[in-house]
A and B are shown apart, each in its own frame.
Chain A
Amino acid sequence: MSAGLSMFLSYLVSGVIIGNIYGLMALGLTIILGVMKIVNFAHGEFYMLGGYAAYVSSIKLGIDPRLSILVAMGVVFIIGVIVERGLLTPLYAGKLDRPGDYALLMTFALSVFLMNVVIPIFGPYQKSSAPLAEGSVNLGVVMVGKTRLIASLVSILLMAILLVALKKTRLGIALRAIAADRDAAAVCGIDVNRMNPAAFGIGTAMAAAAGALLAPSFLVYPACGTIAASKANAILVLGGMGSTKGAIVGALLLGVFEALGVLFLTPGYRDVYGFLVIVLVLLIKPTGLFGSQEFS
């Protein structure tokens, strides 16, 4: 195996392991987009809140680190529902001229608020939640910390559970129905407006799970959601907006693009390749790689 290829594989493997977790975050973004037709610009900050919740739960309260991930999801789900009820209801009240732009401005402002509100609460120092395991595993091409590997596997599991739940449960079917056609779903007797907080809560809980899973590896600090959010956005566009399967494929693709970029261009720009990909994909296919606006 040539040196270049082995370098590429080691970038790829380490990239995809982390990429999965961003994929989980993108899945949350997709659900919110599908049901509420808005892009949540504060998604990265829910990721950050998830990280802090995992920190408080596992370090301050001494709860098992694996359980802490569920705690983080639960806490952020509640915060998500409160945010939706408190700030996003004007979207459907019909008093606004441009609900789409309102949502963008609101979530953008929310992201700045959340990023700053944690500074007085948790201080500017970075925190870490308890590691999921000690030590590293040799995967042949690259050594990977066990915590990262477990986090990646857990995120795959969570994605699988979510996809099955969307297919099989009553709530999942209702969410999909609204995503496909809001008015038709309402006609069929689904309480459309009650589904908004559910979608927003579930979506933000996914971001929180990603934040909690990555907290031991990448640490938690007020601005830690920015990079995560930009990756989730890139995955969202790559996978085609509103397509749940696309979110997963998008995560893998982003991992490949980043590894190629690091190898042939420079590692410094790695966090930007996602953006270049967004622009390229949108230029070639303005509706995203997996074209349809469907929510399947």
Chain B
Amino acid sequence: MRSRLTAVSRRRRGLLAVGLLGGGLVLVFLSTLIGLPDIAPRLGFQILVHQLSGGRLFPASCAGTGVAPGDCSKYTFIVWDLYLPEVLLALIVGASLGLAGGALQGVFRNPLADPFLLGISSGGTLGAAILYVYRIGEANAELFLPLFAFVGAISTGLVILAVARGRYGSVETLLLTGVALANLLSAVLSLVLLYNPIGSEQVTFWLLGGLQLADWEVDGLAFGSVLVFGTVLCLYGRELNLLQLGSDVAQSAGVDAPQVRLRVLLLSSLVTAVAVAFTGIIGFVGLVSPHIVRRLFGSDYRIVLPGAAVFGALFLLSASDISYLAFPGSLLPLGIFTAFAGVPFFLYLLYRQRRSTTMGGG
């Protein structure tokens, strides 16, 4: 990690950012068209443009594509109400996981922090499972589900914060605590499911992670909450920069370190909870995305946080695309694909970290 990072000039970074966002938009567009083999790209394109322009462009969206006029509304439904919400949910959830990962790495001063590895996602799942199994507030599930997931996620986060702040807050301790908590939570979950088979189908979905719940309403709810909490979280970039220099230095420079740590942890748990509530456990997005941003754009958390959101969104969408392309027609859990990319990366980071530094207290 010599000053290679700083060598990338400001202008090149600007170009890179513009290129990435442009590429991202193209990816979003293409992703919507992946799936049913008999939808021609041209048809999908026309339907999207028709819908986005409110019917002003391509007034007859299926014209010239060989689709019978009677089938046009069916295809419109597939593209607009099935595929696009799924793509958007992948973006929203990927962004929230990437952002949460970046923020957690900052709070714990530890490049291996991630909502999944720390067990925060598992905590959220347990919360969601309790709601389903015990049928609490089922009538208002869309409201109670995030709430329960949040309580589960936040409780786990607080336990980890307590451990990390103690004298034994080394990398190893932190990760092992996360692993232990995740295991404990899944044991509790198994127990709950064993005694209450009703609802276990929904819960299994959370354990594996997927985008099946996506529709416009879910997307709206997820987007709204991530936008609010995520924006607030992104405002803590300056504080996180200073926290990297240790609590005392941060404090002497005007950062109320304990307060900031608590708030960022709460916000990260909130953002994670939103993701977990709608898509279940998807690991490693939060681990990988911030690192890529740091490599490309430097270590300023004011950039790392929003950048990790963008990369997380694109990462999860790519994972989803790959799952559809590699196994057309089957609904494989997304977590499988993020793990394929994430685990080798994680091992590489662990290897590099062992060689360079161990995280101490103060």
A and B physically associate: no
